[in-house]
Structure 1
Amino acid sequence: MKTRLIIVAAPSGAGKSSFVEKISQEDPRLVDIITFTTRSMRKGESEGHPYHFISSEDFQKKIEEGFFVEWARVHTNYYGTSYDSIQTSWKHGKCAIMDIDIQGVATFKAKFPDAKTVFILPPSIDELRRRIAKRDGGMPADIEVRMANAEKELREASKFDYQIVNDVFEHSYAQFKKIVEELLA
């Protein structure tokens, strides 16, 4: 397998989780790496889908134990990716794919220089705000923090191997799938 690790990043609400979840279900060569988080479950979520939900105390303990490849505080919660989950996918001859916050991408690239990166852009900041409100069942209290973070994150897009604007999901996903298939060929 040419590529062992594909990292998908985007501002919150741009669609990175939807892309990774869909392609992981369609392509058996991929393993979606499940991130750990201290945030609360949203409606429709469960343990392991889309995250491993743990307490702040457990998260801090795992940091001290060196459990995470990378971890970051995003908005008001912690997120981290375990070494074990990535290495397990490789042991099974699979390519690890994950969606992570932009903060974590540099850490991953430093530890896994052969990783390929894809940045998902929203069509506009206004559309991103609308999507977050729709997804979260109303405007979240930290919306202005998220929008300020999104504007900073969008300036990082050019550092990625690939960029896709997620305007019409089916069209954008087709572009994404083509990139992933080329990376796995």
Structure 2
Amino acid sequence: MIIVAAPSGAGKSSFVERLTKENDRLVDIVTFTTRNIRKGETNGLQYHFINHDEFQKKISDNFFVEWAKVHTNFYGTSYESIENAWKQGKTAIMDIDIQGVLTFKSKYPDAKTIFIVPPSIDELRRRIEKRDGGVPADIEVRMANAEKELREADKFDYQIVNDNFDHSFAQFKKIVEELLG
């Protein structure tokens, strides 16, 4: 299991999505969320989009390995998705919030962790605003969370600064391929 975390907008989803297209030994674990779908997203591809009531029921049913409230929405990873990857003989790779990493490591201590670091807080803000088509309502919450998350980077097995996507992705790919053996 490979877990990728980063502040919102640092590039973790882009890295995981690209690598899983290039390497068929990996399965991108699609998490559940209560956030609204963004332009260009497809339900079941980037996330499983569900409402708050459905999410709460899944919590009650012990459906999630981990779940957390991130910014203003809930995110969670199902046991079933990980078990399905392993049944296929594949390595589960996922991009999750830093809160979920601690839970995963407690349940799966052999999991490897990679933290994607933005080149600066200002660049991170610019990326979020560009991606979301303007200043999101929760931008200050995201930026405050990003500063807290960046202080946790040294607790990860690997850190990559995403200052140039192609160069940083090459580093990411090399690390994952070494982990796969």
Give yes or no for TM over 0.5: yes
Structure 1 residue 78 corresponds to structure 2 residue 74 = yes
Q: CA RMSD in A?
A: 0.4
Correspondence 1:147 to 2:150: no
Alpha-carbon distance between aligned partners in 2 of 1:46 and 1:172, rounded to the nearest angstrom:
26
| Match in the other structure for 2:27 | 31
Q: Percent identity?
A: 77
Is the aligned partner of 1:49 residue 2:45? yes
Deviations 1:146-170 (A, max 9, x none): 0000000000000000000000000
Residue of structure 2 in register with 1:102 after alignment: 98
Any unmatched runs of 5+ in structure 2? none
Give, as a single letter, the amino acid of the residue that structure 2 aligns with 1:170.
D
How does the TM-score come out when normalised to structure 1? 0.97
Q: What code does the residue aligned with 2:180 have? A: L
Equivalent positions of 1:1-185 (< 5 A) are 5-185=1-181
Give how far 1:46 is off: 1.3
Cα deviation per residue 1:15-53 (whole Å; 9 max; x = unaligned)?
A: 000000000000000000000000000001111120000
Q: CA deviation at 1:101?
A: 0.3
Gaps of 5+ in 1: none
Counterpart of 1:122 in structure 2: which amino acid? P
- The runs of at least 4 aligned residues of structure 1 exceeding 3 Å deviation read none
- How many aligned residue pairs are there? 181
2:32 is paired with a residue whose SS is strand
Q: Which amino acid aligns with 2:57?
A: K
